[in-house]
C-alpha cells in the first residue's frame, strides 16, 4: 500500500515537473522579448494580448501547426530522434534537483524533490552530457553544411565547458562532503558556498552560460554567420523542442548555481518561506541570463575556446588545489 | 594510510617515480627546447634511466611491500627492472640516428619510451591485479602510439591500428578474467587470490578466470593463439620500436606471468597443461612460419614468437629453477635480439630499408666485422654454443627435465632445430652470396656502443653464465 | 531504497518522451505537408548545394578537443569520490591526489604548449 | 701439476685465431696459422712424451669450477683413447693449413680463423672431462664447419652446408636432452668420470642409449643418417674434407667409447647386436655406393662410410681385439682418408674436375703424385704392410668373435673396397695419358710434399710397427672393456 | 534486490555482443564501440561483485577501467585519424597491406 502511494507521489511529482518545464518557456520567451525591448529602448511584443502577453501562446500554436520539413538528403531516423534527445536530458536532470526540504500539504509531509540521490551531482553531469548527442545528431542528420559545422562547433563548445564546470563543483563537494544536492544545500545553512568558493562560482556560471549556449557564448546559433547552427534545417514542432530544451537548460543552470553556491532555499535576513527564497534566487539568475544576452557582444570562436581551456580550466584546477589544502 | 606508510611506499617505488617524473619534465622541456636538439633528449632520457637504475640498486637489499599490498620492490622485480633498463637505454642509443633518418625525431618519442618503461616497471612490481592492470596499460598505450609513430607511413598506421584493437580485446579478456577472480575470491591481490584457492580442488569458474587472465597475458608476450598481431606490428612499427617491443614489453609480460604463476593458484591446478600446449604450439608456429619469410622484420617477429614459446617452456617447468630459467632467458634474449635489431636499424640509411633478407647478400664481404657480429647474434638466437643463447635454452631444458617433462624437452629442442634453419639461412645470405650493391650502414658511436655491449653480453653470458645464473636464481629464491 | 532513487528517472524519461510524441502526433494532425524538391534542398543561402556536407575536411582540432574532453572528464571521475571523503583521509589523501593533479597538469601543459588549444579555423 | 698442458693445447689455436684477426696480409695470415698449428702439434708431442701408458686414469687433469650452481666444471684430462685423437687432430691441423695454402684464395683470414677455431673446439671435445664442456665444444664446431663448407665450398655448398648443419644439430640436440637426463639421474653432475660409475635403471639406459645413438650415428655417420656426408665432403674445400674425414667422423665413435659404453653398459651390451647390424649395413652399403661413383671425392666419401662401419663394428664387438682395432682404425682412417682427400684436392686444383672419366694416365705426367696415390689407395684397401691392415684385421677377428654374420659382412666390405679403390686407381692413374693432353699438370711441389709426407710416414709406421700406438690405448681399452662387461653382463 | 546472477548474465551477454562485434564488424568505429561493450561488461561484473562483497574494490577497479579505456580509445582514434588521412577508409578490410 505504501509502495503504491509512494509510486503515485513520484508519478505526480514527475508529471508536475514536466508540466512546469514545458510551460515555463512561454513566460520566459515573453520576458526575454520584453526585457530585450526595454534594454533596446523599444517596447517588444505589444499586439497579442495585454502587452503581448499572449504572444508566446500564438507562437506555440504557430510552431505546432507549421509544416514539418525534412530535407531529402537527411538521415530521417536520426533527424527525428535528435530533438527528443535534446529535449529529454534537461528534464530528466530535474528529477535530482531539490527545491526545498518538505512542505505540509493537507497534513501530509511532502518532500520538495523527486529523488534524493547520493550521487546527484554526478547524475546531473552525466545526463547533461547526453544533450550533446541531440546536438550532434541533429546537425549531422540534416546533412547540410551549416548544420554540420554548427553542430560540430556546438559540440566542441559544450564539451569544452563541461570540464571546467565539473571541476568547479569539486570544491563544493569537499565542503559538503557529499554529492547529494540536498546535503550540499544543508551544508550551507550558515554560510553560503559563494563565500568560500568565489572562483568556483565564477567558473561554474561562465561555463553554464556557455553550456546553455547563451550570449556571449552562443556561437552555435550565431544567426549572423551560420544560419541557425545545428538546427538550421528544423522547423515546426521539432524546432520548438530545441527551443524548450534551451530554456530548460537556462533554468537548470540557474537552479544549480543557486543550489551549489547560493545556499539553495536558505534565506538571509528576511524570513521568507524557503521555496520562495529559492525561486527568487533562481529568477534572479534567469534574469541575469537574459540581461547578458542583450548587453554583451558575442565572442569569436577561437576566443570562446581559449576562455574555456586557457582561463576557466586552469582556474578551476587551481580552485581544487587551493580548496583541498585548506579543507583537508 | 599513514604518512610513514606513504613515505615507505614512495621509497619503495622510487625508481618508478624517478622515471615518471623525468618523463614529465622531458615532456614539458621538449616543447620549450627548439628542434634539432635530439641529442639532448637521448642523454637526458638515459640520465633518467640511470638514476632509476641507481635507485633500484640502492633498494635492492630487501623486500619492500608498498601501497597497502599493491606493489612490492623485491629481487624478482629488480632483475626485471634491469632488463627493462638495458632494453630502454639501448633503444635510446639505437634511436638517435634512426629517428633522424626516418624523420620521426621528437621529444615525445623518448618520453613515450620512458613512460612505457615505467609501465613495465610497475608490471614487474605489481602484486595486485589493479596495479598490474595499470602498469600494463601504461606500457601498451605507449607502445601503441610508438608503433604508429611513422605517421606518413600507412604501414605503420595499419600496424598501430591492428595492435591497438587486438590489444584492447586482449585487455578486455584479461579484465574479464580479473573480474571473475574478484567475484569468486573477493580479492584482487595475488596473495589473497592464492590463499583463497589453496587446498581445495579448483573451482571450474576459477579455472575459467585463470584461462582468461592467461589469454590476456599471452597476448602481450605474443604467444599462440594471440600472436597474429606480432608480425604485422613488428613489420609496420619503426624498427627501433620493434626492437624495444620484442624485448621490453615481452619481458614485462613474462614478469607478470611468472608472478601470477609463482602463486599456488596455478601450482595447485592443472593449468600447466594448458601452458604446455601454448608453449608447444607457439614455438612450432613461430619456427615453421619463419621459414618462409623474406622480410627480415617479419622473420624476427616469428623468431620472437618462437622464443616466447621456448621461454614458456620454462614457465611450464614452474619450479624455482623454471622461473629463474625464464628470467635468464629473457635477459639473454634481450641482449641478442637488441643486437640483431641494432644491425637492422643501422642498415636503414638513405634509400636502403634493410628489411629484406636478400638485401644483406654479401654483407660479409664489405663489412666483415659487422657480419661477424651478426653471425654471433644469429647463432645465439639459434642457440648454438658457446653463445648465451645456448645457455638460455640449456637452463630452460634443465628446469624442464628436472620436473620430468622430458618429452616436452625433446619437442622443444626439435623445434629449435627447425628454428635454427632460418637463422643460418641469414648467415648463408650474408656470407655466401655475392654483394648486390654497396652498403652504407648508419654507424654512429651510439650504435657502435650498443652493438659492442650486446655482443659482449651475448658472448660473455654464454661463456661465464654463473654470475647471471646466480642473479636470476637469487631473484627467485631470495623472494 | 536504492532502486527507488532512480525509478523517477525512468518515469521522467518515459514521461517526456511520451509528451514529445503526443505533441508530434497532434502537430501532425494540424500541420500541412507540401514538400517539393526545392524546399527539400539543404539550406545554403539560396545556392545549390554541392558536395557532401560531411565529406569535406576532417577537422582535426575537433578531434583533439574530443580527446582532451575524454581525458579530463574521466579524470574528474576520480576527483569526485575523493572530494567527498577528503576530510576523512586528511592531508595524506590530499597529497596523493595532488600528485594525480600534478600529472594531469603536466598533460594539460603539454597540450597547451603543443598548441592543441590554439583554435585556427 | 705445473703447466696446464691440455689447456695450452686447446687454447693455442683459439688464441691464434684471435691473433689472426689483427693481420691484413694474406701471406702473414698463412704463415702465422701454420706456425700456430705446428706449435700445437709440438705441444701434443710433448704431451705424448709425458703420457703414462701404464694407467687408465685420466692424466694431465685440470679442474676449475665454471658454473658451480649447476655443477658445471671446466675439466680437462686425457686417457689413452683421447690421447691418440688429440694427437691426430693436431697432426691434421697443420696439414689442413698447408692444404689450403693456395686452394683458398678469397677471405683467407676468415678461413684460417675458422680452421683454428675448429681445431680448438675439436681438441676441446677430446680433452673434455665435463659433459657440458664436451657438449659446448661439440656443438660449437658447427659454426666454423658450417662456414668452411658454406663459404669456401663448391657450387652446391649452400645446400651441403645446410644439410650438414641441420643433421648434426638435430642429432646433438637430442644428445643434449640425454645429457641433462643423465645429469639428474647421476646426482646433478656433469663430471664424466662420476657419471661412468653409475648404476642406472635399464630403461633409463635404453632411452639414453638411443638419444646418444642418434647424435653419434649422425656424426659417424651410420647408414640411415649418412646422407649429409657425401654432400658435405664433395662440396667442402680440401681442408674441410680432411677435417671432416679425419676428425669429425671420429667424434661419433669417440662418443660411443666415452659415453655410451661406460655410462650405459647394460644398454650397450643389450643393443650391441643392433649396432653390429647397422655397422655391417654401413660397410656393405657404403662400399656398394662407392663402387658406383664417378666423382673422385664422392667415391672417397662413400668409402669413408664403409670404413667407419668397420670402426663401429669393432667398437660394438665388445671384445679387446675389436675395440683396439676399432680405435686404431679410427686413427688410420683419419690418416688415410685425410690423405686421399688431400690428394684429390691437389689434383682438383690442377684440373678443376673430379670426374674420374676425365682422368687417365696420370702416372705418366705426375709420377710422384701417383706414387702417393697408390700408397694411400692401398692403405685404404688394407693391404698388408699398411696401417689399415692392422686395424682391419683386428676388427675382423673381433667381429667374427662377436657375430659371425657381422664378420662376414665386414669381409664383403673389405673385398668391395678393393674393387672400388683399385678401379679408381686404374681409371685415374693408368692407361694412356689422356689427361696430359687436356691439362697442364705439374707434379707435387715442396709444400704439397710437406703435407703428404708425414701422412705417408704414419701409414707405413702403423702398418709395420703398430705397437707404440696400441700401447697408448691398450690399458684404457682394457679398463673400458672391463667396465662394460662387468656391468653389462649383469643383464 | 536484483539477484547477482542477473548482473553476471548481463555482463556475459554484453561480452558476447562485444566480442561478436569485434570479430564480425568491418567498420573500425563499430569495432571500437564493440570494444567498449566488452569493457563495460567487465565493469558490470566488478560493480556487481563489489556490491555483493560490500567492498569498494570492485567500484575502484571499474573506475580505473573506465579511465584507462578512455585513454585507450583516445589512442585508437588518434591512430584512426592518421590512417584516414593516409588512406581515407574506415573499413578494416581495406587496411590490409600486410600479410597477417
**Residue C107 is assigned to a structural domain of this protein:** yes
Instruction: Note whether A154 and A37 are same-domain residues.
Output: no
**Cβ contact B28–C110 (<8 Å):** yes
Give the model's confidence band at B479: pLDDT under 50 very low, under 70 low, under 90 confident, else very high. very low
Q: Whole-angstrom Cα distance, residue D470 to residue D390?
A: 10
Q: Is the separation of the CB atoms in D81 and D327 below 8 Å?
A: yes
Q: Is the separation of the CB atoms in A52 and A33 below 8 Å?
A: yes
Chains A and E touch (3+ CB pairs under 8 A): no
| Sequence spans of domains, chain B | 270-479
Q: Looking at chain E, which subunits does it touch, using at least 3 CB pairs closer than 8 Å as the criterion?
A: B, C
Instruction: Give, in degrees to the nearest 5, the angle at Cα D104 between D99 and D107.
Output: 140
Q: Specify the pLDDT at position C3.
A: 59
Whether residue C66 lies within 8 A of chain E, CB to CB, comes out as: yes
Q: Is the separation of the CB atoms in B215 and E84 below 8 Å?
A: no
**Cβ contact B169–E35 (<8 Å):** yes
Whether residue A320 lies within 8 A of chain C, CB to CB, comes out as: yes
More confident site: A127 or C63: A127
Whether residue C60 lies within 8 A of chain E, CB to CB, comes out as: yes
Mean pLDDT confidence for B389-414: 90
Mean pLDDT confidence for A59-80: 81
pLDDT > 80? residue A216: no
From chain B residues 14-73, the ones with a CB under 8 A of any chain C CB are 20, 24, 27-28, 31-32
**Residue C38 is assigned to a structural domain of this protein:** no
Region of poorest pLDDT, from A51-55, D231-235, E6-10: A51-55
Q: Pick B1's closest partner by Cβ from C92, C106, C114.
A: C92
**Cβ contact D139–B421 (<8 Å):** no
Residue of A nearest to C10 (CA): A92
Mutate to test the interface with B, among C92, C114, C116 (most CBs of B within 10 A): C92
Residue of C nearest to B4 (CA): C92
**Cβ contact E79–B188 (<8 Å):** no
Chain D partners of B466 at a C-beta cutoff of 8 Å? Answer: 66-69
pLDDT > 60? residue B200: no
H or E element: which one contains D123? Answer: helix D108-127
Q: Specify the pLDDT at position D382.
A: 85
Residue of E nearest to C56 (CA): E88
Decide if domain E4-91 falls under CATH 1.20.1050.10: no
pLDDT > 80? residue B187: yes
**Residue A110 is assigned to a structural domain of this protein:** no
How many domains is chain C partitioned into structurally? 1
Mutate to test the interface with B, among C91, C101, C106 (most CBs of B within 10 A): C106
**Cβ contact B175–E39 (<8 Å):** yes
The DSSP annotation for D207-249 comes to: HHHHHHHHHHHHHTT-GGG-THHHHHHHHS-HHHHHHIIIIIH
Mutate to test the interface with C, among A156, A168, A210, A231 (most CBs of C within 10 A): A156
Q: Render pLDDT for A107-118 as a digit per residue (tens, 0 to 9).
A: 777 788 888 888
How many domains is chain D partitioned into structurally? 1
C-alpha distances (whole Å) from E30 to each of A126, A134, B228, E27 are 23, 20, 21, 5
Q: What is the CA radius of gyration of chain A?
A: 20
Q: Specify the pLDDT at position B266.
A: 53
Whether residue D411 lies within 8 A of chain B, CB to CB, comes out as: no
Residue of C nearest to B32 (CA): C113
**Cβ contact B6–C96 (<8 Å):** yes
pLDDT above 70 coverage of chain B, percent: 95
Q: Whole-angstrom Cα distance, residue B313 to residue B248?
A: 19
Q: Looking at chain A, which subunits does it touch, using at least 3 CB pairs closer than 8 Å as the criterion?
A: C
pLDDT > 60? residue A296: yes
Low-confidence ranges of chain D (pLDDT < 50): 1, 491
**Cβ contact A88–C16 (<8 Å):** yes
User: Which alpha helices (DSSP H) does D320-445 contain, by range?
Assistant: 320-351, 362-365, 367-380, 387-402, 404-429, 434-438
DSSP, res E92: G
pLDDT above 90 coverage of chain B, percent: 39
Chain C partners of A137 at a C-beta cutoff of 8 Å? Answer: none
Chain B partners of C113 at a C-beta cutoff of 8 Å? Answer: 28, 31-32
* ipTM, interface predicted TM-score of the complex: 0.86
Backbone phi, then psi, for A46, in 5-degree steps? Answer: -130, -15
How many domains is chain A partitioned into structurally? 2
Whether residue B384 lies within 8 A of chain D, CB to CB, comes out as: yes
**Cβ contact B148–E82 (<8 Å):** yes
Instruction: Note whether A85 and A124 are same-domain residues.
Output: yes
Chain E partners of B236 at a C-beta cutoff of 8 Å? Answer: 98
Q: Specify the pLDDT at position A233.
A: 75
Give the model's confidence band at A191: pLDDT under 50 very low, under 70 low, under 90 confident, else very high. confident
Chains B and E touch (3+ CB pairs under 8 A): yes
More confident site: E93 or D457: D457
**Cβ contact B6–C110 (<8 Å):** no
Q: Whole-angstrom Cα distance, residue B399 to residue B316?
A: 9
Chain B partners of E28 at a C-beta cutoff of 8 Å? Answer: 161, 165
Chain A partners of C15 at a C-beta cutoff of 8 Å? Answer: 14-15, 18, 91
Q: Looking at chain B, which subunits does it touch, using at least 3 CB pairs closer than 8 Å as the criterion?
A: C, D, E
Q: Is the separation of the CB atoms in A231 and A67 below 8 Å?
A: no
Q: Is the separation of the CB atoms in D61 and D179 below 8 Å?
A: no
Q: Looking at chain D, which subunits does it touch, using at least 3 CB pairs closer than 8 Å as the criterion?
A: B
pLDDT > 60? residue B22: yes
Chain B partners of C88 at a C-beta cutoff of 8 Å? Answer: none
**Cβ contact D67–B379 (<8 Å):** no
Q: Whole-angstrom Cα distance, residue C52 to residue B345?
A: 44
Query: Domain end: A65, A89, A105, which one?
Result: A65
In which domain, by residue range, is C75 found? 59-121
Q: Specify the pLDDT at position E99.
A: 42
Chain A partners of C31 at a C-beta cutoff of 8 Å? Answer: 64-68, 236-237
Chains C and E touch (3+ CB pairs under 8 A): yes
**Secondary structure of chain A in HEC code, one letter for each residue:** CHHHHHHHHHHHHHHHHHHHHHHCHHHHHHHHHHHHHHHCCCCCCCCCCHHHCCHHHHHHHHHHHCCCCCCCCCCHHHHHHHHHHHHHHHHHHHHHCCCCCEEEECCEEEECCCCCCCCHHHHHHHHHHHHHHHHHHHHHHHCCHHHHHHHHHHHHHHHHHHHHHHHHCHHHHHHHCCCCHHHHHHHCCCCCHHHHCHHHHHHHHHHHHHHCCCCCCCCCCCHHHHCCHHHCCCCHHHHHHHHHHHHHHHHHHHHHHHHHHCCCCCCCCCCCCHHHHHHHHHHHHHHHHHHHHCCCCCCCHHHHHHHHHHHHHHHHHHHHHHHHHHHC
Q: Pick C92's closest partner by Cβ from B3, B24, B27.
A: B3
Q: Render pLDDT for B73-130 as a digit per residue (tens, 0 to 9).
A: 888 899 999 999 999 999 999 988 888 888 887 888 999 999 999 999 999 999 899 9
Q: Specify the pLDDT at position A35.
A: 86
Region of poorest pLDDT, from A252-266, B148-162, C23-37, C45-59: C45-59
Chain E partners of B216 at a C-beta cutoff of 8 Å? Answer: none
H or E element: which one contains D72? Answer: strand D72-78
Whether residue B333 lies within 8 A of chain D, CB to CB, comes out as: no
The shortest C-alpha distance from C60 to chain B (Å) reads: 14
Region of poorest pLDDT, from A41-45, B225-229, C33-37, D220-224: C33-37
Q: Whole-angstrom Cα distance, residue B338 to residue B331?
A: 11
Residue with cell 658406383: D292
Instruction: Note whether A196 and A288 are same-domain residues.
Output: yes
pLDDT > 70? residue A51: yes
- How far is residue E2 CA from its own chain's centroid? 24
Q: Whole-angstrom Cα distance, residue D288 to residue D295?
A: 14
In terms of phi and psi (left: phi > 0; alpha: psi -120 to 50; beta: otherwise), the region of D418 is alpha
Instruction: Note whether A7 and A130 are same-domain residues.
Output: no
**Residue C25 is assigned to a structural domain of this protein:** no
Whether residue B3 lies within 8 A of chain C, CB to CB, comes out as: yes
The shortest C-alpha distance from B356 to chain E (Å) reads: 14
DSSP, res D257: I
Chain B partners of C78 at a C-beta cutoff of 8 Å? Answer: none
Q: Render pLDDT for D415-432 as a digit per residue (tens, 0 to 9).
A: 898 889 888 888 888 877
Instruction: Note whether A161 and A61 are same-domain residues.
Output: no
C-alpha distances (whole Å) from D84 to each of B477, D127, D471 are 46, 11, 10
Q: Specify the pLDDT at position B196.
A: 66
Amino acid at each position: 500500500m505504501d509502495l503504491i502511494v509512494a509510486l503515485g507521489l513520484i508519478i505526480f511529482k514527475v508529471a508536475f515537473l514536466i508540466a512546469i518545464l514545458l510551460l515555463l518557456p512561454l513566460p520566459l520567451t515573453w520576458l526575454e522579448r520584453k526585457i530585450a525591448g526595454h534594454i533596446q529602448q523599444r517596447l517588444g511584443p505589444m499586439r497579442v494580448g495585454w502587452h503581448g502577453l499572449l504572444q508566446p501562446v500564438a507562437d506555440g500554436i504557430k510552431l505546432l501547426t507549421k509544416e514539418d520539413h525534412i530535407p531529402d538528403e537527411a538521415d530521417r531516423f536520426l533527424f527525428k530522434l535528435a530533438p527528443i534527445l535534446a529535449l529529454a536530458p534537461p528534464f530528466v536532470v530535474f528529477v535530482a534537483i531539490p527545491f526545498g526540504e518538505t512542505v505540509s500539504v493537507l497534513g501530509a509531509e511532502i518532500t520538495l524533490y523527486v529523488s534524493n540521490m547520493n550521487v546527484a551531482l554526478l547524475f546531473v553531469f552525466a545526463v547533461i552530457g547526453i544533450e550533446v548527442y541531440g546536438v550532434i545528431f541533429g546537425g549531422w542528420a540534416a546533412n547540410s553544411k551549416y548544420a554540420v559545422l554548427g553542430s560540430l562547433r556546438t559540440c566542441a563548445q559544450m564539451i569544452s565547458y563541461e570540464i571546467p564546470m565539473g571541476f568547479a563543483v569539486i570544491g563544493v563537494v569537499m565542503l559538503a562532503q557529499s554529492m547529494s544536492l540536498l546535503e550540499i544545500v544543508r551544508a550551507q545553512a550558515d554560510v553560503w558556498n559563494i563565500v568560500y568558493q568565489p572562483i568556483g562560482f565564477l567558473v561554474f556560471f561562465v561555463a553554464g552560460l556557455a553550456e546553455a549556449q547563451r550570449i556571449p557564448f552562443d556561437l552555435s546559433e550565431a544567426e549572423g554567420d551560420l544560419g541557425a547552427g545545428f538546427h538550421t534545417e528544423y522547423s515546426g514542432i521539432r524546432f520548438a523542442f530545441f527551443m524548450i530544451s534551451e530554456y530548460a537548460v537556462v533554468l537548470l543552470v540557474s537552479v544549480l548555481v543557486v543550489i551549489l553556491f547560493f545556499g539553495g532555499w536558505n534565506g538571509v535576513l528576511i524570513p521568507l518561506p524557503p521555496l520562495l527564497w529559492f525561486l527568487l534566487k533562481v529568477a534572479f539568475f534567469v534574469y541575469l541570463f537574459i540581461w547578458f544576452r542583450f548587453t554583451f557582444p558575442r565572442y569569436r570562436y577561437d576566443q570562446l575556446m581559449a576562455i574555456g581551456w586557457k582561463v576557466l580550466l586552469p582556474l578551476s584546477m587551481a580552485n581544487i588545489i587551493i580548496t583541498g589544502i585548506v579543507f583537508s | 594510510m599513514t604518512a610513514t606508510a606513504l613515505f615507505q611506499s614512495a621509497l619503495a617505488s622510487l625508481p618508478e617515480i624517478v622515471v615518471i617524473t623525468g618523463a614529465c619534465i622531458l615532456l614539458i622541456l621538449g616543447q620549450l627546447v627548439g628542434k634539432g636538439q635530439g641529442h639532448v633528449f637521448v642523454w637526458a632520457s638515459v640520465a633518467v634511466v640511470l638514476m632509476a637504475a641507481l635507485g633500484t640498486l640502492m633498494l635492492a637489499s630487501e623486500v619492500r611491500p608498498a601501497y597497502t599490498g599493491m606493489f612490492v620492490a623485491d629481487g624478482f622485480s629488480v632483475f626485471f627492472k634491469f632488463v627493462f633498463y638495458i632494453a630502454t637505454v639501448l633503444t635510446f642509443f639505437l634511436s638517435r640516428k634512426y629517428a633522424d633518418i626516418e624523420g620521426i625525431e621528437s621529444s615525445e618519442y623518448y618520453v613515450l619510451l620512458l613512460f612505457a618503461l615505467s609501465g613495465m616497471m610497475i608490471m614487474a612490481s605489481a602484486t595486485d591485479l589493479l596495479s598490474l592492470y595499470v602498469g600494463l596499460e601504461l606500457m601498451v598505450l605507449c607502445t601503441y602510439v610508438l608503433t604508429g609513430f611513422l605517421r606518413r607511413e600507412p604501414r605503420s598506421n595499419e600496424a598501430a591500428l591492428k595492435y591497438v584493437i587486438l590489444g584492447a580485446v586482449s585487455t578486455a579478456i584479461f579484465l574479464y578474467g580479473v573480474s571473475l577472480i574478484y567475484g569468486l575470491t573477493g580479492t584482487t591481490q595475488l596473495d589473497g587470490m592464492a590463499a583463497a584457492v589453496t587446498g581445495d580442488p579448483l573451482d571450474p569458474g576459477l579455472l575459467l578466470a585463470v584461462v582468461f587472465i592467461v589469454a590476456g597475458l599471452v597476448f602481450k608476450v605474443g604467444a599462440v593463439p594471440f600472436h597474429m598481431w606480432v608480425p604485422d606490428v613488428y613489420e609496420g612499427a619503426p624498427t627501433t620500436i620493434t626492437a624495444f617491443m620484442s624485448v621490453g614489453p615481452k619481458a614485462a609480460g613474462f614478469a607478470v606471468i611468472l608472478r601470477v604463476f609463482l602463486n599456488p593458484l596455478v601450482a595447485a591446478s592443472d593449468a600447466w597443461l594448458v601452458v604446455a600446449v601454448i608453449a608447444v604450439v607457439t614455438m612450432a608456429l613461430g619456427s615453421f612460419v619463419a621459414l618462409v619469410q623474406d622480410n627480415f622484420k617479419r622473420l624476427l617477429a616469428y623468431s620472437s614468437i618462437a622464443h616466447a614459446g621456448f621461454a614458456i617452456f620454462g614457465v611450464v617447468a614452474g619450479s624455482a629453477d623454471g622461473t629463474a630459467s625464464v628470467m635468464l632467458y629473457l635477459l639473454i634474449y634481450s641482449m641478442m635480439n637488441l643486437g640483431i635489431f641494432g644491425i637492422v636499424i643501422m642498415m636503414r640509411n638513405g634509400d636502403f630499408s634493410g628489411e629484406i633478407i636478400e638485401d644483406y647478400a654479401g654483407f660479409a664481404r664489405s663489412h666483415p666485422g659487422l657480419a661477424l657480429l651478426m653471425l654471433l647474434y644469429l647463432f645465439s638466437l639459434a642457440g648454438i654454443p658457446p653463445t648465451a643463447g645456448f645457455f638460455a635454452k640449456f637452463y630452460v631444458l634443465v628446469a624442464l627435465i628436472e620436473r620430468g617433462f622430458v618429452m616436452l624437452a625433446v619437442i622443444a629442442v626439435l623445434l629449435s632445430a627447425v628454428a635454427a634453419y632460418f637463422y643460418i639461412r641469414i648467415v648463408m645470405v650474408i656470407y655466401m652470396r655475392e654483394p648486390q650493391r654497396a652498403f652504407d650502414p648508419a654507424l654512429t658511436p651510439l650504435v657502435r656502443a650498443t652493438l659492442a655491449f650486446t655482443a659482449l653480453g651475448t658472448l660473455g653470458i654464454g661463456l661465464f653464465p654463473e654470475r647471471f645464473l646466480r642473479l636470476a636464481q637469487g631473484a627467485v629464491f631470495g623472494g | 531504497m536504492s532502486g527507488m532513487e532512480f525509478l523517477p528517472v525512468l518515469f521522467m524519461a518515459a514521461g517526456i518522451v511520451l509528451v514529445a510524441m503526443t505533441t508530434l502526433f497532434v502537430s501532425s494532425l494540424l500541420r500541412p505537408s507540401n514538400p517539393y524538391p526545392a524546399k527539400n534542398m539543404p539550406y545554403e543561402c539560396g545556392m545549390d548545394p554541392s558536395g557532401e556536407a560531411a565529406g569535406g575536411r576532417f577537422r582535426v582540432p575537433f578531434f583533439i578537443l574530443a580527446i582532451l574532453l575524454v581525458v579530463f572528464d574521466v579524470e574528474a571521475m576520480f576527483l569526485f569520490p575523493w572530494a567527498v571523503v577528503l576530510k576523512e583521509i586528511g592531508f595524506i589523501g590530499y597529497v596523493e591526489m595532488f600528485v594525480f593533479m600534478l600529472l594531469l597538469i603536466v598533460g594539460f601543459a603539454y597540450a597547451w604548449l603543443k598548441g592543441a588549444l590554439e583554435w585556427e579555423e | 701439476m705445473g703447466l696446464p698442458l691440455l689447456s695450452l693445447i686447446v687454447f693455442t689455436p683459439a688464441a691464434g685465431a684471435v691473433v689472426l684477426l689483427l693481420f691484413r696480409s694474406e701471406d702473414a695470415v698463412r704463415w702465422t696459422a701454420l706456425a700456430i698449428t705446428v706449435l700445437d702439434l709440438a705441444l701434443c708431442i710433448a704431451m705424448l712424451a709425458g703420457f703414462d701408458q701404464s694407467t687408465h686414469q685420466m692424466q694431465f687433469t685440470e679442474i676449475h669450477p665454471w658454473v658451480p650452481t649447476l655443477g658445471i666444471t671446466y675439466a680437462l684430462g686425457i686417457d689413452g683413447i683421447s690421447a691418440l685423437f688429440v694427437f691426430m687432430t693436431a697432426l691434421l691441423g697443420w696439414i689442413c693449413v698447408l692444404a689450403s695454402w693456395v686452394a683458398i684464395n678469397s677471405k683467407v683470414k676468415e678461413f684460417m680463423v675458422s680452421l683454428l677455431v675448429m681445431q680448438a673446439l675439436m681438441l676441446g671435445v677430446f680433452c673434455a672431462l665435463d659433459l657440458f664442456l664436451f657438449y659446448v665444444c661439440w656443438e660449437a664446431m658447427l659454426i666454423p664447419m658450417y662456414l668452411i663448407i658454406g663459404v669456401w665450398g663448391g657450387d652446391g655448398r649452400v645446400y651441403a652446408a645446410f644439410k650438414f648443419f641441420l643433421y648434426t644439430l638435430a642429432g646433438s640436440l637430442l644428445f643434449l636432452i640425454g645429457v641433462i637426463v643423465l645429469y639428474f639421474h647421476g646426482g646433478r653432475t656433469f663430471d664424466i668420470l662420476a657419471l661412468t660409475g653409475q648404476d642406472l635403471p635399464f630403461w633409463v639406459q635404453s632411452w639414453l642409449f638411443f638419444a646418444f645413438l642418434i647424435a653419434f650415428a649422425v656424426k659417424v655417420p651410420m647408414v640411415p643418417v649418412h646422407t649429409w656426408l657425401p654432400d658435405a665432403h664433395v662440396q667442402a674445400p680440401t681442408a674441410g674434407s680432411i677435417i671432416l674425414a679425419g676428425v669429425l667422423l671420429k667424434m661419433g665413435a669417440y662418443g660411443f667409447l666415452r659415453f655410451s659404453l661406460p655410462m650405459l653398459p647394460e644398454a650397450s651390451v643389450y643393443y650391441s647386436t643392433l649396432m653390429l647390424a647397422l655397422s655391417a649395413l654401413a660397410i656393405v652399403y657404403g662400399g656398394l655406393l662407392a663402387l658406383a661413383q664417378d666423382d673422385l671425392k664422392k667415391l672417397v666419401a662413400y668409402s669413408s662410410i664403409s670404413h667407419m662401419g668397420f670402426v663401429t663394428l669393432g667398437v660394438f664387438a665388445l671384445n679387446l681385439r675389436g675395440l683396439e682395432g676399432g680405435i686404431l682404425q679410427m686413427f688410420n682412417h683419419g690418416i688415410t682418408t685425410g690423405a686421399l682427400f688431400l690428394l684429390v684436392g691437389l689434383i682438383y686444383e690442377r684440373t678443376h674436375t673430379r670426374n674420374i672419366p676425365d682422368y687417365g694416365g696420370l702416372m705418366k705426367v705426375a709420377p710422384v703424385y701417383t706414387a702417393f696415390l697408390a700408397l694411400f689407395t692401398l692403405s685404404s684397401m688394407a693391404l698388408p704392410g699398411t696401417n689399415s691392415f692392422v686395424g682391419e684385421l683386428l676388427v675382423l677377428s673381433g667381429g667374427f668373435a662377436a657375430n659371425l654374420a657381422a664378420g662376414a659382412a665386414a669381409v664383403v666390405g673389405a673385398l668391395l673396397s678393393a674393387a672400388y679403390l683399385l678401379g679408381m686407381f686404374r681409371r685415374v692413374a693408368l692407361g694412356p695419358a689422356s689427361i696430359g693432353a687436356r691439362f697442364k699438370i705439374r707434379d707435387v711441389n715442396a709444400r704439397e710434399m710437406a703435407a703428404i709426407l708425414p701422412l705417408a710416414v704414419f701409414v707405413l709406421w702403423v702398418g709395420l710397427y703398430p705397437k707404440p700406438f696400441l700401447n697408448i690405448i691398450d690399458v684404457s681399452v682394457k679398463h673400458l672393456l672391463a667396465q662394460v662387461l662387468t656391468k653389462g653382463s649383469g643383464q | 534486490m536484483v539477484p547477482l546472477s542477473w548482473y553476471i548474465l548481463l555482463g556475459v551477454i554484453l561480452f558476447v555482443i562485444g566480442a561478436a562485434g569485434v570479430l564480425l564488424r568491418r567498420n573500425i568505429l563499430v569495432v571500437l564501440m564493440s570494444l567498449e561493450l566488452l569493457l563495460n561488461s567487465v565493469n558490470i561484473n566488478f560493480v556487481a561483485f563489489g556490491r555483493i562483497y560490500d567492498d569498494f574494490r570492485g567500484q575502484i577497479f571499474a573506475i580505473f577501467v573506465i579511465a584507462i579505456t578512455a585513454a585507450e580509445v583516445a589512442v585508437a582514434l588518434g591512430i584512426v585519424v592518421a590512417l584516414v588521412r593516409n588512406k581515407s577508409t574506415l573499413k578494416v578490410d581495406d587496411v590490409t597491406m600486410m600479410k597477417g
